[in-house]
Structure 1
Amino acid sequence: MTDLKFATEKIENPRAHWVITLVCDDTPGIVHALTGAVVAAGGNIEELQQFSSTDTGRFFLRTEVSVADGADLQAEVLPVAKRLGAKITVDPAERKLRTLILGSKAAHAVNDLLFRQRSGYLPIEIPRVMANHAVLGDLARFYDVPFEHLPVTGPEEKAAFEQRVREVIAEEQIELVVLARYMQIVSPELCEELAGMAINIHHSFLPGFKGANPYRQAHARGVKLVGATAHFVTTDLDEGPIIEQNVRRVDHTNTVKQLQAMGQDEESRTLTQAVKWFAEHRILLDGHRTIVFR
């Protein structure tokens, strides 16, 4: 069945840039059909990346085009999507993705997202930061972003927090939810509702250390690598499709505090990169893995 999504907002630029993504069964003529539609709309292709998955038999494509009339582009692409049974998105390249940030106490990942959004590096809007602790309030206010604190002390409070997340998503037309060191397990129900639109970050150690004080455990075992993994949120805790990973070498001279600082740097860097790729429509899902057009 065709799954077609078009942006509805008016674009003032007389020759606007658009991003088109396509996912469908791999058959001959897909690129020809889509590029023909772009040409028929008077568009110019400025970037195109594609990938055929031999594992799933699916085809993935991302292209950036410039065109004078977005309505013409949509009209030409629609029959292509229907004919291919494809999932296609057509979105203005300059549109900023509306993003909700969830946090707890740790400030490093939240701060990096807020700073890079303000600096123009991240093409997102952040209408709200929500947390189950109040400590991030000053940071959010520094960046003039509304902050909402709902304590989670038990099952009832957790359910109330998640219900409020649903309400904010609807009220603010949220397109991406970022768990920026949000230290609560998301319920299976909310995971299902956020499928494909929620990104989480966690530390990556070799070997892995779970539970309390992972950096102290890592220091005691003499780890040589610390890092981070950004992935989509699923019902399998910390096992969703991986978007980005980074590592950094460490050695016996590093203290627990130094390991933690270096690990947090990697967490911030990795999460921000994943959010940027998502906002630029560079991440497509192929089963339990991701296709990332860099």
Structure 2
Amino acid sequence: MTTSTPGRDFILTLDCPDRPGIVHAVTEFLVAHDANIVQCQQFDDRQNGRFFMRMHLESLNSAYGKDALIQGFGRTAEAYSMNWRLVDAAERTRTLILVSKYEHCLNDLLFRRRLGTLDIDVPLVVSNHPDAAGMAAAHGVEFRHIPVTPDGKEEAEAELLRLVDDLRIDLVVLARYMQILSPELCKSLEGRAINIHHSFLPSFKGAGPYGQAHARGVKLIGATAHYVTPDLDEGPIIEQDVARVDHSMDPARLAAIGRDVESQVLARAVRWHCASRVLLNHGRTVVFG
């Protein structure tokens, strides 16, 4: 992981209609504000005429901190109709984790956080079941049980949104949270909620994918991390991976192999999101490695 200095290293991400002069305008601004480019990645989506950029920059002048750079870059961004964001590269992402009864992804994320290989702070784990309370406690993280019933779903989601606001949450991770979020909640969390689905989408959507995979005799099983949208399991894909299986494996064995794949895929997606490496491109993503 790249070491960043708080208040000195920043990540600038942007996308805009493609046209000549974008890179020149950005670099001209940086030169004028005593900023050095540490790394720059860009992608030109020629099919849709859209330009994407991720830049790690270093401020060489203490007079140009985060607020000054944000204020100053606004004019350049407006001239090129940019969607853009500038963040302190050393800031950790405040993350709320949602989980139901399967705890493997939760455990993996919290363990990576403890090791320091995942730049997230987790002030709270929320579940619609009490089962994961012990896992959260083992990692020293507060746990909140919010039951979800057909009659109480709206109230449960309202409580969840209050927690997101009160705790200043940047990212919500659905770590095998087996509830379908309402369209209203999906809209409120747009671009900042990641789900792990236990199949290689678009195959075997919905519940019970390992049983579906076994019935079809597949030779590969996988997992998909994607942003949450109102369309179930249809959100922009961030990361996917697969594992090879064979005819001798029953659904339980497939699920055991799948749990490892799910944990790894979700961790990578969270890491890339937190490092501002994922940009939305309509129903797809641009992921800068």
Q: Pairwise mapping of residues 19-58 of structure 1 onto structure 2 (< 5 A)?
A: 19-58=11-50
Q: Is the 8 A contact 2:174 2:196 kept in 1?
A: yes
Question: Structure 2: how far apart are the matches of 1:50 and 1:167?
Answer: 37
Q: What is the CA-CA distance between 1:211 and the residue it aligns to?
A: 5.9
- Report what 2:194 is aligned to: 199
- Report what 2:179 is aligned to: 184
Question: Structure 1: how far apart are the matches of 2:171 and 2:58?
Answer: 25
Q: Pairwise mapping of residues 129-278 of structure 1 onto structure 2 (< 5 A)?
A: 129-154=125-150, 156-204=151-199, 208-209=203-204, 213-278=208-273
Deviates more, 1:81-90 or 1:126-135: 81-90
Q: What is the CA-CA distance between 1:14 and the residue it aligns to?
A: 7.8
Unpaired segments of 5 or more residues in structure 2? none
In the alignment, does 2:279 pair up with 1:284?
A: yes
- Report what 2:96 is aligned to: 100
Q: Residues 138-175 of structure 1, C-alpha deviation per residue, up to 9 Å, x if partnerless?
A: 00111111100022232x22112211111011101111
Question: Structure 1: how far apart are the matches of 2:131 and 2:275?
Answer: 31
Question: Structure 2: how far apart are the matches of 1:43 and 1:271?
Answer: 34
Q: Is the 8 A contact 1:81 1:88 kept in 2?
A: yes
Report the secondary structure of 2:249's partner residue.
coil
Q: Is the 8 A contact 1:19 1:91 kept in 2?
A: yes
Report the secondary structure of 2:198's partner residue.
strand
Q: What is the CA-CA distance between 1:256 and the residue it aligns to?
A: 2.6
Question: Structure 1: how far apart are the matches of 2:71 and 2:146?
Answer: 45
Report the secondary structure of 1:23's partner residue.
strand
Question: Structure 2: how far apart are the matches of 1:142 and 1:200?
Answer: 23
Q: Is the 8 A contact 1:228 1:245 kept in 2?
A: yes
Question: Structure 2: how far apart are the matches of 1:89 and 1:207?
Answer: 30
- Report what 1:127 is aligned to: 123
Question: Structure 1: how far apart are the matches of 2:258 and 2:221?
Answer: 6
Report the secondary structure of 1:253's partner residue.
coil
Q: 1:13 to 1:265 in 2, by over 3 A?
A: closer
- Report what 1:6 is aligned to: none
- Report what 1:8 is aligned to: none
- Report what 2:52 is aligned to: 60
- After superposition, the CA RMSD in angstroms is 1.9
Q: What is the CA-CA distance between 1:119 and the residue it aligns to?
A: 1.2
Report the secondary structure of 2:51's partner residue.
strand
Question: Structure 2: how far apart are the matches of 1:257 and 1:42?
Answer: 58
Q: Is the 8 A contact 1:97 1:175 kept in 2?
A: yes
Please tell me the residue identity of whatever aligns with 2:12: I
Report the secondary structure of 1:204's partner residue.
coil
Q: 1:81 to 1:184 in 2, by over 3 A?
A: same
Residue identity over aligned pairs, in percent, reads 50
Q: Residues 7-30 of structure 1, C-alpha deviation per residue, up to 9 Å, x if partnerless?
A: xxxxx9587211001111111111
Please tell me the residue identity of whatever aligns with 2:44: S
Q: Is the 8 A contact 2:119 2:271 kept in 1?
A: yes
Question: Structure 2: how far apart are the matches of 1:195 and 1:176?
Answer: 10
Q: What is the CA-CA distance between 1:40 and the residue it aligns to?
A: 1.5
- Report what 1:3 is aligned to: none
Question: Structure 2: how far apart are the matches of 1:288 and 1:216?
Answer: 28
Unpaired segments of 5 or more residues in structure 1? 1-11
TM-score by length of 1: 0.90
TM-score by length of 2: 0.92
Report the secondary structure of 1:219's partner residue.
helix
Deviates more, 1:187-196 or 1:206-215: 206-215
Q: 1:201 to 1:40 in 2, by over 3 A?
A: same
